[in-house]
């Protein structure tokens, strides 16, 4: 297999191209399809290796996406911090603490509901 180092045709990108608008299921099937030649070429004991490698790469890409999203979020927060100064940060911390307290209270309530009632409670 070799590459002619010459541009020899024009490839059109169209709205109805097969690779466009793939569902996550089809994408997953497509990724498995790429692993198949390796799986077939390997002894059965090693057949999971290409799938694992493929899975890791997929996970890395997801993590990279998440990382870049978080970076953007951090940049926003930093910008806000610069803009609002210490006071803004204090407000932010207070709000975060409030919401954390509320979340913790909800959590405790839900845990209490799931716990078996104590003997002393039953008596009353």
Partner 1 sequence: MAWAGRSGGAGETRLREWVAGRGTGAITVEAVPVACRLNHPWRLRWERAFDFRQWLRAFALRHPVAVVNVPDTGGVAYYALLAKRGGVDFEGVRFVVEASGPLRRLRALGHLAIDNLQDLYQDFLERRCIEMADALIAPDPVIPDWLASHGWAMPAQVAVAEPVSDASVAVAPAGRVSRIVFIAPLSMGGQLPRVCRTLGQDSVKDRLRDVEIVFWGPSEGVRDKAAMAHIEASAASWPFRWRVEGDLSARAAERLFGDGAGVAIFPTGRSMGWLPYQWCRDSGVACVEPVGLGAQSRRMHMDAADLRRLEEIPDPEAIGRALHAALDGTTNTQGTPPSPGGGRVEARVKLMLEPPTPARAQAMSTAEAPLVSVCIVTRNRARLLPQALASIEAQDYPAIEVVLVDDGSTMKGALAILDDLEPRFRQKGWRMFRQEERTFHAAARNRAVREARGEWVMLFDDDCVSEPHQIRTMLAFATNIGADIVTCPRHVFIGDHRPATGDRSGSVWVPLGAVPAAGLFENCLGDTNLLIRRRVFLELEGLRTDFGVPSADREFLIRAATAGL
**How far apart (Å, rounded) are the C-alpha atoms in residues 84 and 78?**
10
CB of 83 to partner 1, least distance (A): 30
CB of 45 to partner 1, least distance (A): 18
Beta carbon nearer to partner 1, 12 or 123? 12
Contact 51, 35 (CB under 8 A): yes
**How far apart (Å, rounded) are the C-alpha atoms in residues 46 and 53?**
12
Beta carbon nearer to partner 1, 9 or 115? 9
Structure tokens at 41: 């070429």
- Which positions touch partner 1 (CB under 8 A)? 1-14, 18-19, 22, 26, 29-30, 33-38, 41, 50, 53-54, 57
């Amino acid at each position: 297999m070799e590459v002619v180092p010459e541009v020899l045709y024009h490839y059109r990108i169209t709205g109805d191209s097969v690779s466009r608008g793939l569902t996550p299921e089809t994408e997953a099937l497509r990724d498995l399809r790429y692993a198949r030649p390796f799986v077939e070429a390997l002894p059965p004991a090693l057949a999971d290796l290409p799938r694992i490698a493929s899975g890791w790469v997929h996970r890395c890409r997801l993590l990279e996406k998440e990382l870049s999203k978080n970076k953007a979020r951090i940049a926003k927060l930093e910008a806000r911090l610069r803009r609002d100064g210490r006071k803004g940060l204090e407000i932010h911390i207070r709000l975060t603490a409030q919401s954390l307290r509320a979340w913790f209270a909800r959590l405790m309530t839900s845990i209490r509901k799931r716990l078996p009632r104590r003997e002393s409670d039953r008596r009353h």
